Amino acid sequence: MLQAIGGLLVLASHKRLAGISTGIKSSKLPAFLLWSWWFLSPESGFQSDNRALDSFVHVHMDSTPSEQRVWMEDIIINDIGAENVLSKLVNSIMENESLVGDILGNSLLALDEIASWKHPAMARAASRVPITSTLAHALKNKDGSARPYLVERQHDSTLTHLHFKIWVSCAHLLKTVASTLASGTCEPKMVSGDDVYSIYNHGLTLALNTLRVNKETFALYKGFYSASLQCWIDHLHRYKSDKSTFPATVVQALRKAASRSWYGILLELRKITNAPEYTRPLINDWLAFGTALGFDEEKKRKEYNAMLAHICSWTFCPYHLSPAEEAFKHCKGCGVAHYCSSECQMSDWKKGGHKAACRRLKG
């Protein structure tokens, strides 16, 4: 059976490459990998972690634009079908719990490269799959919590770069999502404003944690933040002037989701004083994003201060940026800091500088 499938794959991979120029014809590997990924089911054990697609991404990114057009338009769009490919790729990310690390990163990169391809058929296909919920899911652990924002101090940290690789694909796809919403190609029900904000919240948290310990690493990715945020800022501003330019349901959900942590992120960005060349543009973009959503900074500051007891003082806790529903217990030493758990309190005491701050506050 596998031999028969293998023969079919080879035949299929030759199908579109047979009649094209020698330079492209000589490289049949990407086509073979695409067809392999398409035909082999997850149950077969050969593709359960998207390994064939992972290999395709490596070759695709090193290919010329002409070669990329062959696999994108001839094979994905015309032969397999753009929506078929995107649906299978989305399902693999949503349903395969073993899809983590670099293969998850390359699966998201593949989704980004394919869904963002400039072609009317691809735009229609991308509008029919739940891209934002897929991206938000990819940034979470199996229990639904956010993936840890582990950041290493070494400039060449593989783990930190992997976190950025995963998020950058998500951020770039959000531009595609915004464009299809604005053009009317994508139905609003396919996009969750909550998911859009959770993706940006994830990226800003990653940026904050990286800037605190390794600003040189953030420098490699700063442009992706501005490009993605500015796309949404532009559409939100147009929506203010003309409500027909963007779906109201998406804007309202996005605004509600951003309301709790937008100011907390802004405050933390301003606390980082050792990297103004990186934080200043990010602060400006984040301010513009909030303004486009209709936020008043002074009003948000007052709301934030009124919720200080609901904010965990440990910098790397999710509740440090977004207040919880319930108030936290305060530090018995200083009475100022609040913690959601003993683990966060211990982390802040050992690593966050509260040991010195607590004594200073008591004095």
> What's the predicted TM-score (pTM) here?
0.83
My answer on whether 176 and 301 are in the same domain is yes
Q: With respect to residue 9, please indicate whether it lies within any of the assigned structural domains.
A: no
206-259: pLDDT as tens digits: 999 899 888 888 999 999 999 999 999 999 999 999 999 999 999 999 999 999
Q: Give the Cα separation of 187 and 180 in Å (integer).
A: 9
My answer on whether 259 and 214 are in the same domain is yes
Q: End-to-end alpha-carbon separation of the chain, Å?
A: 77
- Which pLDDT belongs to residue 154? 56
Q: Per-residue DSSP letters for 321-358?
A: TS--SSPPEEPTTTS--EESSHHHHHHHHHTSSHHHHH
- Which pLDDT belongs to residue 39? 83
My answer on whether 268 and 187 are in the same domain is yes
Is the pLDDT assigned to residue 155 strictly greater than 70?
A: no
Closest CA to 321 of 308, 330, 331, 302: 308
Residues 6+ positions from 184 with CB-CB distance below 8 Å: none
Q: With respect to residue 348, please indicate whether it lies within any of the assigned structural domains.
A: yes
107-123: pLDDT as tens digits: 999 999 999 999 999 99
Quickly state the pLDDT bin for 132 (edges 50, 70, 90). very high
Find the domain containing 302 and state its range: 130-306
My answer on whether 279 and 145 are in the same domain is yes
Q: With respect to residue 12, please indicate whether it lies within any of the assigned structural domains.
A: no
Domain termination site, one of 129, 164, 186: 129
Q: Give the Cα separation of 72 and 79 in Å (integer).
A: 10
Domain termination site, one of 83, 99, 129: 129
Q: Please count the structural domains in the chain.
A: 3
My answer on whether 141 and 252 are in the same domain is yes
Q: With respect to residue 22, please indicate whether it lies within any of the assigned structural domains.
A: no
- Which pLDDT belongs to residue 6? 43
My answer on whether 166 and 298 are in the same domain is yes
My answer on whether 272 and 344 are in the same domain is no
My answer on whether 338 and 292 are in the same domain is no
54-112: pLDDT as tens digits: 888 888 888 888 888 888 998 999 999 999 999 999 998 988 877 888 888 889 999 99
My answer on whether 157 and 274 are in the same domain is yes
Quickly state the pLDDT bin for 361 (edges 50, 70, 90). low
- Which pLDDT belongs to residue 156? 60
Better-scored residue on pLDDT, 343 or 142:
343
My answer on whether 284 and 153 are in the same domain is yes
Q: With respect to residue 68, please indicate whether it lies within any of the assigned structural domains.
A: yes
Q: With respect to residue 227, please indicate whether it lies within any of the assigned structural domains.
A: yes
My answer on whether 296 and 353 are in the same domain is no
Q: With respect to residue 16, please indicate whether it lies within any of the assigned structural domains.
A: no
